[in-house]
Structure formats: structure tokens, C-alpha cells
Structure 1
Amino acid sequence: MKRLVTSALAMACAALAAPSQAQFAKAEDAVKYRQSAMFIQSQNVARLGAMASGRAPYDAAVAVANAEVVAQISRLPWAGFAPGTEGGKAKSEIWREQAKFKELSERLMADADKLLVAAKAGSVDALKAAMGPLGETCKSCHDTFRNR
């Protein structure tokens, strides 16, 4: 799992080095890219949420593994929101309210980093405390910038 995430992160970093118009051959590719990153992120957040809420047994090692993925993946979807990549469930407000979108994306990355620190603490209580702000950030961004 770590190798896959590391490879994906390396590819994303390489893609970020290219001009945004060169990153994706078609707007649909950008949409698929960002949706894929968000899907992977949501699956790992859901596992952490299940442990934090008691719906799944708490396993410190699994929590760390999932939090590592969330922290790394949280940096990826933003390249898929370049100008000319409108579509999918993204509202047009993303491209009109770039400052707010950027602020929420940065907050998500910071919350994901804090989640990883909490997971490494090895305490379900620390995990619970970090899940709240992350969930609030996700909700705030989706409420503002995502069509249902």
C-alpha cells in the first residue's frame, strides 16, 4: 500500500511540475484524476471514522496506515482543478472563488497532517479529536463547491 501511495505521490509531483494545461490531455482526464484522488481519500477517512466512532475495532497500526494515505492523497486532487477543467460534480464557484477554494484545500492538507499525528499517538481519543476538524473542512468545501 505504501509503495502504491508513494508512486502515486511521485507521479503527482511530476505532473505538478508541468504547466497546468499540459497535465491533462482532456478536461475529462482532470475530472477523473481529482475524483479518483477524492475517492481514495474518502475510503481511508471512512475507515478512520469507523474506528473513531466505534463502528469498527480500533487498531492503531491500521489507523496510522490509513492516516498516512489521507495525508499524502490530500495533496493530489488540486492539480485537477486547473482552468478549463470544469465538470464532474464541481461547481463553477471553484473557478470564481479561487481564494476560498485554495484556503479550504490548504486547511484540508493541514487537517490531514494533524490526523496523521493523532493516529501516530496510538490513542482512539486522539483520533476522534482529529477527525472532527477534518470532517468539518470536507463538509465546508463540499457544501460550497460540490454539486450533489
Structure 2
Amino acid sequence: MKKLSLVLAATVVCAPLWMSSAQAQFAKPEDAIKYRQSAFSMLSTHMSRLQPVLKGQVAFDAAAVKANVAVIQTLSTLPWSAFGAGTQGTSSAKPEIWSDAAGFKAAQQKFQASVVQLSAAADSGDLSKLRSAAGDVGASCKACHDSYRAKK
């Protein structure tokens, strides 16, 4: 657990540096697409790890929940810089991401705000607050997918 905390701390400290140079770090549009898809995949994985707790299928382990939520919070900042020019039309991302940049940015901010609330709920140790906050995160994911992700 201590090792995970150190990794997360380093990620949180370094994330702004990575994000500020994110466009420069992608040699090809395909690299940016893989990056954002990986970030979303990891977000999905860590949200899925919360599901058995939220459904009452396993006992509430506050430390495990906080660890997953900390990863979710870090990951929630990563994919957005990989929606740069040249990455349109090569994935399930709809063209509206670029034609409605303000709307996409608002959806991103809503998602990130819901993740902040999820973190607060995890810190509270209150399972009902955690369920509500996780529902809000899921709703923000769905809203963004409905507007900005093509159905496969």
C-alpha cells in the first residue's frame, strides 16, 4: 500500500508537467489515440472494481475503495490532452468533440467534478454517499459517451 501511495503521489505531482507537454509527446495521431483509450480503459477498470462494494456483494473496505478512487482521480485528468488535431475520424470519437469543443470541455469538467465528489465520498467512509457519488460519475460518463462517442 505504501508503494502504491508513493506512485500515486509521484503521478499527481508530475501529471501537470505531462499534461502541459502532452501534444509534443505524441509522435503520431495513433499514439494519442492509444493513450486516451488506455486512460479510459483504466478508468473503467477501476470503476468496475468499486461495483461489488456498491452493490453490497463484498464488504466495504475503506482502504481499498480509497486506493481505487485515488487512481480514478489521477486518471480522470489524463485522456483530454490526447484529443488533439489529427486524431479525428480514427477512433470512436465523434466529430462533435472538435466541432463542439466548448461542450466537450464542459462534459470533461463535469466528469472531473464528479470524480472529486467521489473522492470526498470515499474519504467520508459513508457507503450511501459513495453509491450516490459513483452514480454521478457513471452518469457523467454516459452523458459524454452519448454526445461524443460513436456507438460500435
Q: Match for 2:145 among 127, 142, 147?
A: 142
Q: Which residue of structure 1 lines up, in the alignment, with residue 44 of structure 2?
A: 42
Identify unmatched segments of 5+ residues in structure 2: none
Please say if residues 118 and 126 of structure 1, whose CA atoms lie closer than 8 Å, have aligned partners that are also in contact.
Answer: yes
Identify unmatched segments of 5+ residues in structure 1: none
Q: Write the letter of the residue equivalent to 2:120.
A: V
Q: Trace 1:1-148 onto structure 2 (pairs within 5 A).
A: 1-10=4-13, 12-18=15-21, 20=23, 22-86=24-88, 87-148=90-151
Question: Does the C-alpha gap of structure 1 residues 5 and 28 become closer, same or farther in structure 2, counting only changes over 3 Å?
Answer: farther
Report the Cα distance in structure 1 between the residues aligned to 2:15 and 2:32, rounded to whole angstroms.
12
Alpha-carbon displacement from aligned partner over 1:39-92 (angstroms, at most 9, x marks no partner): 111111111222112233221111111111111110111011112122222111
Q: Write the letter of the residue equivalent to 1:121.
A: S
SS at match of 1:14: helix
Report the Cα distance in structure 2 between the residues aligned to 1:74 and 1:113, rounded to whole angstroms.
10
Further displaced range: 115-124 or 4-13: 4-13
Report the Cα distance in structure 1 between the residues aligned to 2:95 and 2:72, rounded to whole angstroms.
26
Under a length normalisation based on structure 2, what TM-score does the superposition of the two structures give?
Answer: 0.87
SS at match of 1:75: coil
Report the Cα distance in structure 2 between the residues aligned to 1:114 and 1:78, rounded to whole angstroms.
20
Report the Cα distance in structure 1 between the residues aligned to 2:29 and 2:56, rounded to whole angstroms.
40
Further displaced range: 69-78 or 10-19: 10-19
User: What is the total number of aligned residue pairs between the two structures?
Assistant: 147
Please say if residues 69 and 122 of structure 2, whose CA atoms lie closer than 8 Å, have aligned partners that are also in contact.
Answer: yes
Question: Does the C-alpha gap of structure 1 residues 56 and 19 become closer, same or farther in structure 2, counting only changes over 3 Å?
Answer: closer
Question: Does the C-alpha gap of structure 1 residues 122 and 93 become closer, same or farther in structure 2, counting only changes over 3 Å?
Answer: same
* Shift of residue 5, structure 1, vs aligned partner: 3.7
